[in-house]
Every structure is written in structure tokens, then in C-alpha cells.
Amino acid sequence: MIIGTTVTLAFRAIMRHKLRSFLTTLGIIIGVAAVVTMVTLGNGATASVKESISSLGANILQLRPGQGFGRGGGGPRPPDFDPDDVTAIAQQITGVRAVAAQAQSSGTAIYEGNNWSTTVNGTTASYFEAQQWALQSGRLFMPEEEEAGKSVCIIGSTLKNNLFKQEDPLGKQFRIKGVSCQVIGILATRGQGGFGNDQDDVVVMPIKFVQRRFTGNRDVSMIMIAVDDAYETSAVQSSLEGMMRERRNIKPGDPDNFNVFDTKQISDTLTGTTTMLTQIVTAVAGISLLVGGIGIMNIMLVSVTERTREIGIRLAIGAVASEVLLQFLVEAIVLSCLGGLMGLFLALIATAIAAPLMGVPFLFDVRINVIAFAFSAAIGVVFGYFPAKRAAALNPIDALRHE
């Protein structure tokens, strides 16, 4: 009963000074809103990074010439791979689920007056198994089509929408770099890749056809290796690096002229970086919660001074010190809780607007919202206790004489 009466008195005191109460809670509002917004957007960014990297395929190793994504520094251009390297990896490396050679080019696709610049990826049917990339419609390459290097292709949804518009492209012919190609399949939509590239803007052809008509050689520009889930990716990568050093005649102590890109490692690195940045920004935003608590304490001290005669009257007619302490403590808690609720509402609006603008998913986290609200209530307890204790310690006679 006394708690209900005290809460009612607290609301009345707050409503008597609406502007002052709002300004008192402003620090809490900003602090809670900032913390929840930063954590929510950070979680969205982390999820976006994981999704982008996972779209490259699970447990995938990408073998490329050079020491990075480029071809190296000012030295000679590292040699590409050859089909025998692909065969050796498939036959000699334990734990490999699928191996797909790739030879890439680019060009402008043309169909009945429509044209679209796109990427040409020459590979084998193992590519779709390694990437676990399903077809929306149509079929994959036949073994005889791969062996003969037939002019057939599977296209991504971006190319389909821009080149064929509303038409069904299956079975139709289009030209790219002066070469005619028949569409036999359409890839399921994947969206943006790990580095912002549109994975759906692609034409996939048998590698022998691309080598013969586009690149003019039998070189393999990249090899994709899918690791079996039962094996450690790091162990497979170590075996792969040892084999490639031997096959490329790299002497002991000399640097590799190839690199192995592990999608899981880059995912873990980017996720860890995003999480750390989110924690740092959240910690900075959390400082405003402490500032808000100091603001509540200052205003409550002013309120105790202003209401000294009221406190004296309550004490004189029989109120005990604990009741006065509870009254002012509840006022501080109510102020901070109201600030917390308003901060959560503001954070909800801010994240709902900012998430689409940043291109990250809006992930509502109940836990961080509950923690932020509980922390705002704790701020009221911690910073409201001293003013409440001061009010409860007033001498009734001195309080009644106060002007």
C-alpha cells in the first residue's frame, strides 16, 4: 500500500514540473537510445557480414595465383594454374568434397536490342556443388558438354532481368563478345557477395569453351576447393599449400607465388572486428547514461532544497525517515525509468530508419533492450539514494523553519 501511495506522489511531483522533469531525464533518454541503437545496428552489421561471406560458400578454399588478390608487386606475373593442378588436388588431397577450376572474362551480352555488361565464368558442374548454388530453373552442364566445350550457359538473375526483361530465357540464344550462347539454366538469386560484388550478374559456361573462345589458353585463373564437413579446413589448407609449392617448384625459404583464401577465416576476422567496434562505440555511448545519472542526482538535490518545508511537515505529522527516503528514491527511479522507456522508443525509431539506409538487417534484440532499461532503473537507485538520504536526515524543526 505504501509503495503505491509513494509512486502516486512521485508522479504528482514529476507532473508539477514537466519541463524540469524532461530535462532531468534527457541524459538517460540519450544514453539508452544511443546504447540500444549502436548495439542493434552493430548486430545487424555483423549479421550482414556473416551473410555476405557465407554466400561465397561454406568451408570453401579459393586458390589464386599471386600473394594476394592482386598479382603481387613489381616482380614477374605469377603463373596461372593448369588442368593438371585441378586433377591432382581432387585425387591427392584428403578431405576435398569438390574441386572446380575457373577461367574468367567479361563482356557485353546482347539480346534483341538489349545489352548488359557482365562477368563470364568458365567452370565445371562441380562449381555449383562446391558453392551449393541451386538452380531456379533449367539444368546444369552435361559431361559431354563440358568435355566438348559446348556453347551453353547458365545465367544469374541480374543478367536475366536486364537482358531478357519479362521473357523466359531458357532455350534462347544471346551473344557475348561476338559468341552465341544458348541458355540452359537460371541460377537462384544470391545477392551481394563478400566484397560488394553482385553474384547474380554472371554468365557461367563450360571452362573449355571460355578458354578456347575468350582467354585463348588452357590456364586456370582460380581453383575453388570445397572441404568436407568432417575435416578441418586448416588441415586441408596446409596439405594444399604443400602440394602447390611442390608442383610450382618453389624452393624452401622462397615465398609462395599463390595464395589460399579461406572464407571462414575472413568471416571470423570481419565478425570479430565488427563486434569490437560495436563494443567500443557502445561503451562511449554508455558514458551518457552516467552523465544522465549525475543530472538526476543534481536535480533531486535541488528538489530536496525546494521541498524542505514539505519534508518537515511530513516528519512533524508522523512520517518516519524511511518513508521520506522511499519517496525521494522512488521519484528518482520513476524519472530514470521514464527516461529509459523514452530512450527505447527513440532507439526503435532510429534503428528502423538507419538500418535500411546502412543496408543492414534490423534485428530487434530483446536482451539488450531489457538490459538498457534495467540499467536506467539502476541509475535511478544509485544516483537517487544520496538526495533521498539527505531528505530523510533533515531535522523536522529546522525543516519547518526553512524559508
Domain boundaries, the chain: 2-52+268-401, 79-256
CB neighbourhood size of 327 (10 A): 24
Per-residue model confidence (pLDDT) at position 29: 84
Cα–Cα distance measured from residue 385 to residue 8, given in angstroms and rounded to the nearest whole number: 19
Give the DSSP H/E element, type plus range, for residue 261.
strand 258-262
- Specify the pLDDT at position 209: 93
Higher pLDDT, 73 or 299: 299
Phi, psi (degrees; rounded to nearest 5) at 68: -155, -155
Higher pLDDT, 10 or 373: 373
> Whole-angstrom Cα distance, residue 328 to residue 335?
11
Q: Which pLDDT value is given to residue 18?
A: 75
From CA 338, how far away is CA 117, in angstroms rounded?
Answer: 56
Q: Cβ contacts of residue 282 below 8 Å, gap of 6+? A: 35, 38, 39, 42
Q: Is the pLDDT of residue 145 over 80?
A: yes
Higher pLDDT, 54 or 148: 148
Residue 210 has pLDDT above 90, yes or no: yes
CA pseudo-torsion sign 272, 274, 275, 276: positive
Rounded to whole angstroms, the Cα distance separating 150 from 142 reads 10
- Report the distance separating Cα 397 and Cα 28, nearest Å: 36
Whether the pLDDT of residue 283 is over 80: the answer is no
Tell me the torsion sign for CA atoms 354, 358, 362, 363. negative
Query: How far apart, in whole angstroms, are the C-alpha atoms of residue 194 and residue 54?
Result: 8
- What per-residue confidence (pLDDT) applies to 71? 47
Q: Identify the pLDDT of residue 316.
A: 66
In angstroms, what is the C-alpha Rg of the chain? 33
Cell of 289: 547514461
Helix residue ranges per DSSP H, 233-262? 233-247
CA distance 203 to 169: 13
Asked whether residue 75 carries a pLDDT value surpassing 60, the answer given is: no
Alpha-carbon distance values, 340 to 348, 370, 379 (Å): 12, 10, 10
Q: What angle, rounded to 10 degrees, do the helices at 83-92 and 233-247 form?
A: 140
pLDDT score at 101: 92
Strand partners, 137: 186
| DSSP-H helix ranges across 132-189 | 143-148, 157-159
pLDDT at 225 over 80: yes
Tens digit of each residue's pLDDT (9 = 90 or more) over 347-380: 899 998 988 888 788 888 888 888 888 888 887 7
**72 pLDDT tier (thresholds 50, 70, 90):** very low
Spatial distance between the Cα atoms of 61 and 70, rounded to a whole number of angstroms:
17
pTM for the full model?
A: 0.60
